[in-house]
Amino acid sequence: MSRGRLVLAALLAFLVLDLLVVVVTGSTSLVPGLSPVGPAAFAVRTAAAGALLAVLWRRDRARVALVLLLFLPLLVQFQVAGRRLSGDGVMYYVYVRSLVKDADIDFTNEYTHYELIGRGDLSVPTKTGLRRSIFAVGPGLVSIPFFLFGEAVGRVEGWMGRAVDLSGYGPEHVNASAQRRDPDSLLAFVTKLVGRYREAPELGWE
């Protein structure tokens, strides 16, 4: 790879990292003075990443078209209008938040926060007298590293003097945990790119 392509690849890596931080925090950029990042600024960053990919993958027009016409618009939609937790995702997230933040499996405060405390199927106590869950713990356990990443990002923000919600209900924790489950998330997008490159490395950065 030539020096010019290395520079472009480095810029792309920085843009992807910046997009990840924006997605996790909700609006914070790695670049000082450019926060908060609104929908238009996020779209500009995404377009810049697409332009760099188009240059690096210029020999593979089909792949470039797929990224520019499908994956990148989905990424913008995820950030601007997508919901981070909904449906079953909330039920798995209560495991994550309770285990990491409260060091227990008492879901009373989580159910109260998400206004589920009065739901009939969740009101029947377990043998321990705690609130029950009708969902398996497995997906929640897999999401713990993402939750901890959100915790780390939040603590760095706090160290920088920004107001951060570290309760486990703030955007840092919720957005980071949602990365694993949402098919339109930035993590899913980057994973797809890496997968395509591994499938056909000869079409990669040349």
**164-174 CB burial, b ≥16 within 10 A, e <16:** beeebbbbbbb
Judgement on whether residues 111 and 122 belong to the same structural domain of the protein: yes
Judgement on whether residues 172 and 92 belong to the same structural domain of the protein: yes
Judgement on whether residues 170 and 191 belong to the same structural domain of the protein: no
Judgement on whether residues 56 and 94 belong to the same structural domain of the protein: no
Q: Report the range of poorest mean pLDDT among 54-58, 159-163, 166-170.
A: 54-58
**pLDDT > 80? residue 174:** yes
Q: What's the total number of domains in the chain?
A: 2
Q: Residue written as tokens 């209560």?
A: 94
Residue 125 forms beta bridges with which residues? 131
Give alpha helix (H) positions in the chain. 3-25, 39-56, 61-66, 72-80, 88-97, 108-113, 120-123, 138-159, 171-181, 186-199
Whole-angstrom CA distances from 37 to 7, 34, 130, 174 are 25, 7, 41, 18
Judgement on whether residues 70 and 8 belong to the same structural domain of the protein: yes
Judgement on whether residues 155 and 197 belong to the same structural domain of the protein: no
Residue 201 tokens read as 């490395």
Judgement on whether residues 109 and 165 belong to the same structural domain of the protein: yes
Q: What is the residue range of 23's domain?
A: 3-82+184-203
Question: Tens digits of per-residue pLDDT, 59-104?
Answer: 766 566 656 666 677 667 667 765 567 777 888 899 999 999 999 9
